[in-house]
């Protein structure tokens, strides 16, 4: 394999000049840059990034932690993050944590050993204490970890109130909620937003809230149960779109017509919601923008260690489709 000396010899410059061209620092005139680049290409020379990261203590590697990439919300986030990390020449590492703290901390330690530059973490159960040995910057995405860690989220509670009010404006009188997992902050805020709106209604009791755990199957079963036991329900606010599509599925299996007999609204704005029949109305998060913003904040923090904690909360937006 070619070395930096071979490149210098062929381009008729010093190795220091080759290094300046490779690292884009210090002045080198255009003609020399061209010659060095041609020599690099001709010799198929690769400056050794491993050696460079040993020297700098960095690997140009950013990791995303998600519970499970097969949940359709996460590929859309991952795509945005990878676009930004790639643009900035970072390698994008993906870890599925299964929301398991032990697995998560194992990943963190392993990646710290590999000098990962930073972490973007979607986790409902990680606390600051689990992160006390992690030196690299962290951005919490979709779910907050602590006030001392930068985060990118949405206005879950207000967005959920809007969802319930929208169902009401369509004439729904008894609105139920399929909630996400109890240990996930955004699920809690979405449930609170729902409760803010309905808890003083005379028809309301706790049987109108069931857990769907952000899983399709769990939510489908919960919805079947809910609709069978409470036939007067005429609107459902699902805590995410995956559970919203599960409600549509449950309604079809019970021969309940959507939107005529039941209006359904989800939360997230994933592509799947547009693709099912009837298409799912939703409070859409700007998923791509959120992922991209999390990556941009992380890269800022990597480059400027003095960068202060940033907390971005995007707004959700009603997208009306056939399910309402």
Helix (H, G, I), strand (E, B) or coil at 22: helix
**Of these, 3, 271, 289, 309, which contacts its own copies (CB under 8 A)?**
271
Q: Which is nearer to its own copies, 202 or 260 (CB)?
A: 260
Smallest gap from residue 84 Cβ to its own copies (A): 12
Type and span of the H or E element at 43:
helix 30-43
**Contact status: 60 vs its own copies (CB under 8 A):** yes
Type and span of the H or E element at 96:
strand 91-96
Q: Which is nearer to its own copies, 49 or 261 (CB)?
A: 49
DSSP secondary structure, 275-297, as one string = HSSSPPEEEE--HHHHHHHHHHH
Binding mask 292-321 for its own copies (x = CB under 8 A): ------------------------------
Helical H segments across 184-286, by residue range: 185-198, 216-229, 241-253, 272-275
- Per the listing, tokens 């997230």 go with 268
Among candidate residues 78, 132, 141, 85, the one with its CA nearest the CA of residue 109: 132
**Contact status: 68 vs its own copies (CB under 8 A):** yes
Binding mask 149-168 for its own copies (x = CB under 8 A): --------------------
- Interface segment toward its own copies; rule CB under 8 A; list 8-16, 29-37, 74-82, 299-307: 74-82
From the centroid of its chain, how far is CA 60? 20
**Contact status: 59 vs its own copies (CB under 8 A):** yes
Phi-psi label, residue 279: left if phi above 0, alpha if psi -120 to 50, beta otherwise: beta
**Contact status: 100 vs its own copies (CB under 8 A):** no
Dig out the tokens for 211 from the structure.
């857990």
Q: In what order do the strands lie in the sheet containing 317-319?
A: 209-211, 175-179, 235-238, 263-268, 281-284, 317-319
**Contact status: 110 vs its own copies (CB under 8 A):** yes
**Of these, 131, 136, 248, 302, which contacts its own copies (CB under 8 A)?**
248
**Contact status: 281 vs its own copies (CB under 8 A):** no
Asked if 62 and 298 count as a contact pair (C-beta separation under 8 A), the reply is yes
- Interface segment toward its own copies; rule CB under 8 A; list 8-16, 25-33, 85-93, 207-215: 85-93
Q: Which residues pair with 239 in a beta bridge?
A: none
**Of these, 32, 72, 146, 221, which contacts its own copies (CB under 8 A)?**
72
Q: Given the rule CB under 8 A, which residues bind its own copies?
A: 44, 46-51, 53-54, 57, 59-61, 68-70, 72, 74-76, 78-79, 82-83, 86, 89, 91-96, 107, 109-115, 133, 216, 245-246, 248-249, 252, 271-272, 275-277
């Amino acid at each position: 394999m070619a070395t930096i000396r071979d490149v210098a010899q062929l381009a008729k410059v010093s190795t220091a000049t080759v290094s300046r061209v490779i690292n884009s620092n210090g002045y080198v005139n255009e003609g020399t840059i061209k010659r060095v680049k041609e020599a690099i290409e001709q010799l198929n020379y690769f400056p050794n990034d491993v050696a460079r990261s040993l020297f700098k203590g960095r690997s140009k590697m950013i990791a995303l932690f998600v519970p499970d990439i097969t949940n359709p919300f996460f590929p859309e986030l991952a795509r945005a993050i990878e676009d930004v990390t790639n643009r900035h020449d970072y390698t994008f590492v993906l870890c599925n944590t299964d929301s398991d703290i032990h697995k998560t901390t194992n990943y963190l330690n392993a990646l710290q050993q590999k000098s990962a530059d930073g972490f973007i973490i979607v986790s409902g159960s990680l606390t600051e204490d689990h992160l006390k040995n992690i030196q690299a910057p962290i951005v919490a995405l979709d779910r907050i970890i602590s006030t001392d860690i930068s985060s990118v989220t949405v206005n879950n509670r207000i967005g959920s109130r809007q969802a319930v009010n929208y169902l009401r404006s369509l004439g729904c009188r008894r609105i139920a909620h399929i909630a996400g997992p109890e240990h996930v902050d955004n699920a809690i805020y979405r449930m609170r937003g729902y409760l803010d709106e309905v808890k003083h209604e005379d028809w309301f009791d706790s049987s109108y809230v069931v857990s769907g755990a952000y899983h399709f199957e769990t939510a489908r079963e919960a919805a079947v149960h809910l609709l069978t036991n409470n036939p007067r329900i005429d609107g459902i606010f699902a805590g995410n779109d995956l559970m919203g599509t599960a409600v549509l599925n449950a309604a079809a299996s019970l021969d309940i017509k959507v939107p005529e007999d039941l209006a359904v609204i989800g939360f997230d704005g994933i592509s799947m919601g547009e693709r099912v029949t009837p298409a799912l109305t939703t409070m859409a998060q700007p998923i791509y923008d959120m992922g991209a913003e999390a990556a941009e904040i992380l890269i800022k923090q990597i480059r400027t260690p003095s960068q202060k904690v940033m907390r971005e909360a995007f707004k959700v937006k009603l997208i009306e489709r056939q399910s309402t």
